[in-house]
Amino acid sequence: MIVKLNLIAAACENMGIGKNNNLPWRLKTEMEFFTRMTTKTEDINKKNVVIMGRRTWDCIPKKFKPLNNRINIVLSRSDLDLTNFTDVYGFKSLEECIERLEEEEFQKLYENVWVIGGSHIYKESMESDNFYRLYLTKILKDFDCDTFFPKLPDNLKQVSDPEVPDGIQNEKGIEFVYNVYQNPTFQN
């Protein structure tokens, strides 16, 4: 089975995604959307995989680590001690991670694969032959950010997904829109 990488992110007008290793905004409904999308499975015996870089892993508050009801994968070139966690794996590269996800034994454990950051991991994932979809919440406001989502590939096609709300959403006076883009070159 070919691994389909679904990327999920929220970015403001200037494509900022973070500030000081944190989210620059607090939107409860957007976080609920992220949680629902990355945990929902058809098969109750399987979980979804969330792939992240080490800095994203480090930014997760201790009480939420690892992200529950998901298989957490942390990519880092340096050694990480993840032995105190259940359902958490470390890999040196995205390529090594994908190879493991393609193994038959591992495929029995998961349903969908979500890439949740940061910038470098998003960029590498969009350049991968396994890049399938990008779920990008556009925050319709500028925020001061020091971390940015990489440039989107020119060939992405906007698509709809019945799981994704349509139209402009509003919370605390901040408007945002859920967008879904598909990579037309993905070969299933």
Catalytic center residues: 23, 30
Q: Residue 187 is inside which H or E element, if any? A: none
Give the bridge partners for 48, in sequence order: 70
Helix-then-strand count for the chain, H and E: 5, 11
Sequence-separated (6 or more) residues with CB below 8 Å from residue 156: 134, 181, 182, 183, 184
**R_g of the chain computed on alpha carbons:** 16
One-letter amino acid at 116 equals I
Residues 32-71 as b or e (16 or more Cβ within 10 Å = b): ebbeebbbeeeeeeebbbbbbbbbbbebeeeeeebbeebb
Peptide bond into 53 cis (omega under 30): no
Determine contact, residues 90/74, Cβ cutoff 8 Å. yes
